[in-house]
Amino acid sequence: MSILRKTFRLNAETEIPAVGFGTYLIEETDVASAVRAAIGVGYRHIDTAEVYHNEAGVGAGIRTALVDNGLTRREIFVTTKLWPGAAEWGETPKTYAQTLSAFDESVKRLGLDYIDLYLIHSPHGGARRVEEWRALIDLKKAGKVRSVGVSNFTDAHINEIKAAGLALPEANQIELHPWSQKPDLVGYMHEHTIVPIAYSSLAPLSTWRAGQESAKPEAEKKADGVFATMAAKYGVTEAQLLLHWGVQNGYAILPKSLNPERMKQNLALDGFEIDAEDMDAIRKMDRGAGIAWSMGDPTKVS
């Protein structure tokens, strides 16, 4: 099956496209045209979040693209995320009622009648994590969202949900790439049928988030050429190799670009399979902690 059409099952009624279009760090003024272009070249999953402050533009881009391309709403998978409130930043974590209200506000900004996947963006809700999760379950029961999950949660955070006797998340969106592979957490997620959604797939590239405050430390920007060598072996770009690695491991991925040609390249992941020798070599590159997000670090948002 073509990766463009590949999906991962979240529940009996819902599947998430293997390749989505990420909108983190795309300004509200640019995001509508970016989303419109992304859908135009073939993306069928768009990822945003309350805290990205671009939901209105994302929704506008989706609605325009539906008309442009003769698509129905059901053909576009939309993810957004609850910002839970971080006490570490002087915020008050959201209550059950505030979580429901935040969802309604996201839907209003997006201008859509439902959301395909709604995530708790981080575990910063602290003592209210379970309360917030209960609200997401009830949103799904009410038919306002097709699937629910979390982001940046560890197995300990998910075990809180388990201990409360509640249904477990259907997905966990986390930083995953060759330098941050999280084998124990991914293994736990597979054991509990929680779909991994990878962000920052291109973090090992020297150009990743260049010029952004959230970029990796200068010491980690030096490319050692290993991915260029592997990519040349398969006749693809380094970015295509890294993205394919994610899907080959069973992760949905969320590449981002404002360049339509690069958008197309990030979807062109067919025609090769990373062999066992290279997969094993990449497995040994794991450096542990993330670059975009250290699990539980309140100073960074994915």
In three state form, how does the secondary structure of the chain look? CCCCCCEEEEECCEEEECECEECCCCCHHHHHHHHHHHHHHCCCEEECCHHHCCHHHHHHHHHHHHHHHCCCHHHCEEEEEECCCCHHHCCCCCCHHHHHHHHHHHHHHHCCCCEEEEEECCHHHHHHHHHHHHHHHHHHHCCCEEEEEEECCCHHHHHHHHHCCCCCCCEEEEECECCECCHHHHHHHHHCCCEEEEECCCCCCCCCCCCCCCCCCHHHCCCCCHHHHHHHHHCCCHHHHHHHHHHHCCCEECCCCCCHHHHHHHHCCCCCCCCHHHHHHHHCCCCCCCCCCCCCCCCCCC
Q: Of 24, 52, 118, 251, which residue is the catalytic one?
A: 52
Radius of gyration of the chain (CA): 18
234 catalytic residue (yes or no): no
Q: Under 8 Å CB-to-CB from 221, ≥6 apart: which residues? A: 206, 215
In this structure, the strands spanning 115-120 and 145-151 are: parallel
Which amino acids are annotated catalytic? 52
